[in-house]
Amino acid sequence: MCLAVPGKVVSIDDSTDPLTGLIDFGGVQKQACLEYVSDVKVGEYVIVHVGFALQRLDEESALASLKLFEELGLLEEEFGDAWEQASKEAGTA
């Protein structure tokens, strides 16, 4: 029930109250209420639950998370020795 899926805003219909727009979910398009993300722009991504966009998806944060995951792995691979591990556990990494 808390399932909410990301979709791309394809168009926004200013004439409706509440504000609605067409959202693309990887090929499937559906109308959703945009009233809670009223400053959203076409081309941006929103997270949609039961026909309502609840929040805009922040591209920068998404990329930062992915970069962090990659660096975690690289740290492991490149410096994955006991000393590195110890320094991490000490909270310096």
Partner 1 sequence: MKYIDEFNDPQLARRLLDEIRATATRPWALMEVCGGQTHSIIRHGIDQLLPEQVELIHGPGCPVCVTPLEVIDKALEIASRPGVIFCSFGDMLRVPGTDRDLFRVKGEGGDVRVVYSPLDALELARGNPDREVVFFAIGFETTAPANAMAVHQARRLGLSNFSLLVSHVRVPPAIEAIMTAPECRVQGFLAAGHVCSVMGMAEYPDLAERFRVPMVVTGFEPLDILEGIRRAVRQLERGEHRVENAYPRAVREEGNPAAVRMIEEVFEVTDRNWRGIGPIPASGWRLTDAFRAYDAEHRFDVSGIRTEEPAECRAGEVLQGLIKPTECGAFGTTCTPRTPLGATMVSSEGACAAYYLYRRMNAGAPQAGGSAQEQEEVAPVG
- Least distance from partner 1 to the Cβ atom of residue 25, Å: 8
Indicate the residue among 12 and 54 with the shorter CB distance to partner 1: 54
> Residue type at 61?
S
What's the min distance (Å) between Cβ of 39 and partner 1? 10
Stretch 23-52: interaction string toward partner 1, x if CB under 8 A: --xx---x--x-xxxx------x-x-xxxx
Q: How far is the CB of 17 from partner 1 (least distance, A)?
A: 8
The two tokens of residue 15 are 């004439």
**DSSP helix/strand/coil, 12:** strand
CA 18-19-25 angle, to 5 degrees, is 120
Residue 43's region, left for phi above 0, alpha for psi from -120 to 50, else beta, is: left
Q: Which is nearer to partner 1, 25 or 42 (CB)?
A: 25
Residue labelled with tokens 């591209």: 59
Per-residue contact track with partner 1, 61 to 80, x per CB under 8 A?
A: xx-xxx--xx-xx--x----
